[in-house]
Each structure stands twice: as structure tokens, then as C-alpha cells.
Amino acid sequence: MRIDDLPGELLMWVLIGSEVAVFAAGITVMEAVRLTDPAGFATAQGMLDGRMATLNTALLVTSGLFAARAERDGGRAGLLLAALGGVAFLAVKIAEYTADAARGVTMEAHPFFTFYYLLTGFHAAHVIAGVVVLVLVAIRPRRDTAQAAAMFWHMVDLVWVLLLAPVYLLG
């Protein structure tokens, strides 16, 4: 495959690649630190509510489907439904953070939680940016802008899937 054969603009691919690389670096560092205290990381990780992560995964995957439909159709409804999925994701993430804090799960409690909050918080910032982009593009949707918004949103989905295993499942 040649660069000219990629869908969308090259700059969007550069953005997506750089964002995925940043998250991959964060995950790599977290896993390197995990090697120094595997039992502590497992104990800390066990304090997280996997049901919230499961719900958020379903929300993002479903919103990704709406973004894909909007990309194909250039339609406003798909963009807005994808954005709504992002807002729901953020509501669940806020509820999760609130419950974590009530149990004393803070960034200082253990190095695992430092990575947990940094990585998932940085991802949440990308969700916020994605929601804003999806809504702005929905105001005057065109096929090219819908494609760019959907590509960014798919990157947000991909990063969540990459975070899911080391943050919620490994241990």
C-alpha cells in the first residue's frame, strides 16, 4: 500500500500515529515499572471496578460504529450519536473516578494509580476533544470533514482498547 492509497489526509495519519505512539510510550513505562512490584500492581489493579471499564468499552465501540456510519454517509446523525457516546463515556469515567477517590484510590496511593490516572485522564482529554470535533463537524457535515472526525474518533477507540488490558485486565 502506498501513502497515496490511504483514506483521508496524510496529516491526520501523522496525528493519529503520534498520538498512538505517546500512549504506547506511557503503557511501556507503566509495564516497566510494574516489573519492579508485580504484587503491588496486581493488588492496586484489583481495586478498580472492571464493570465501569466494560461499560465504557461498549460505549466507545458503539459510538465508533456511529462514527463509521457518518464517515460513509457524511451524515449529521451518526456524528452526533458518536459524540453522545463520548459524553456517556465521560459520565461513566467521572463516576468511576469519584468512586475511586471515595475508596482512597489517589495518584499517590501506589505507582499503578499514578499511571492509571495519567493514562486514562489523558485519554479522557482526547475524548473531550473528539466530542468537540464531532459536534463541530456535525454543524455542516461534508464527507471529507466527517471522515477526518471519524478517523480521530477511531483513534480514541483504539487507544482505549490499548489501555484496557494493561490498566484493567493484566495483573
Rounded CA-CA distance 126/122 in Å is 7
Q: Domain limits of the chain?
A: 9-169
> How confident is the model at residue 158, as a pLDDT?
93
What mean pLDDT comes out for the span 59-87? 93
CB distance 70 to 146 below 8 Å: yes
Of the pLDDT bands very low, low, confident and very high (cuts 50, 70, 90), residue 4 is low
CB distance 78 to 65 below 8 Å: no
Rounded CA-CA distance 5/119 in Å is 32
Of the pLDDT bands very low, low, confident and very high (cuts 50, 70, 90), residue 8 is low
CA distances 32 to 4, 24, 35, 164, Å, are: 37, 12, 5, 17
At position 106, the amino acid (one-letter code) is T
Residue 30 confidence (pLDDT) above 90: yes
The matching CATH number, chosen from 3.60.110.10, 3.40.50.620, 1.20.120.80, 1.10.10.10, for 9-169 is 1.20.120.80
Rounded CA-CA distance 19/147 in Å is 18
What mean pLDDT comes out for the span 158-171? 90
